[in-house]
Amino acid sequence: MIIWISIATLISTLLGGMFALRFRDKLHLILGFSAGAIIGVAFFDLLPEAIALGGKNYDIAFITSVTALGFIIYTILDRFVFFHSHEKEDKEKQSRLSRRGMLGAGSLSIHSFLDGVAIGLAFQVSTAVGVIVAIAVLVHDFSDGINTVNLILKNFGNHSQAFKWLLIDAIAPVLGVVSTLFFSVSESVLGIILAVFAGFFLYIGASDLLPESHHNHPTVWTTFATILGMAILYGAISLAGV
């Protein structure tokens, strides 16, 4: 069963990415949706899961502080390592933006790998727990594919680069599942890792995708797309937890 679930995560991510590639002419709306979806993943999936897993050894204030630390770490990387300046030459600017997109897509891919790890570890507890976690992962893998493609395309990446990162993101949860055959991670450690990624995703959604979705486009529809992205993720994750 676990093999079929890992394949399903791969297919779900690929479908989301192909959707984004197919409708790239509506990129501002998809970026708005992605912003809502990625913020929704942070608030409705990663942070609650981090508190649930890490709460046995750490209080909530510490876990949310780790999330804030993740936000700060990503801010420093974005501003001082992958920053871009309008005063630079176009080629240098595009190069920096491209690396910025890869940073975001790489973060999503690592998150997808951890999703796979979560599925594998959950099945080590019991089949019932494993199925619940797998459903939760599947419901947001589609948006993961969309987000990965969008982060590359909006930062001067081309179709080929976007598809390459989509494949990496799609394969990541499969590798995560397989890796749990060789090691185990304590729930508290996994909770801290998820808290850090919640901070990463809050930055990506609020400081990167959301402002870009409004650039040179009416804010009404992009705002609607953002709220829709959050609502769909909330509903899907809530249903998966039933």
| % helix, strand, coil for the chain, step of 5 | 85, 0, 15
CA–CA dist 131, 139 (Å, integer): 12
Task: Tell me how crowded residue 234 is: count the other CB atoms within 10 A of its CB.
Answer: 15
Give the residue among 13, 57, 51 at the shortest CA–CA distance from 167. 13
218: left (phi over 0), alpha (psi -120 to 50) or beta: beta
Q: Give the total number of structural domains in the chain.
A: 1
Please report, in tens digits, the pLDDT of each residue of the chain (242 residues total).
Answer: 777 888 888 898 888 888 878 876 776 787 788 788 889 888 988 899 899 989 889 999 999 999 999 999 888 877 776 544 444 445 555 555 566 677 778 888 887 888 888 788 878 766 765 776 676 677 667 777 887 887 787 776 778 888 898 999 899 999 999 998 888 778 888 889 889 888 988 987 887 667 766 665 667 888 898 999 899 888 877 876 65
The CB density around residue 25, as the number of other CB atoms within 10 Å, is 8
In single-letter form, the type of residue at position 47 comes to: L
Nearest to 98 by CA among 127, 219, 106, 5: 106
Q: How many CB atoms lie within 10 A of CB 162?
A: 23
Neighbours of 59 (CB within 10 A): 11
- The whole-number pLDDT of residue 87 equals 42
Residue 173 belongs to what domain range? 2-240
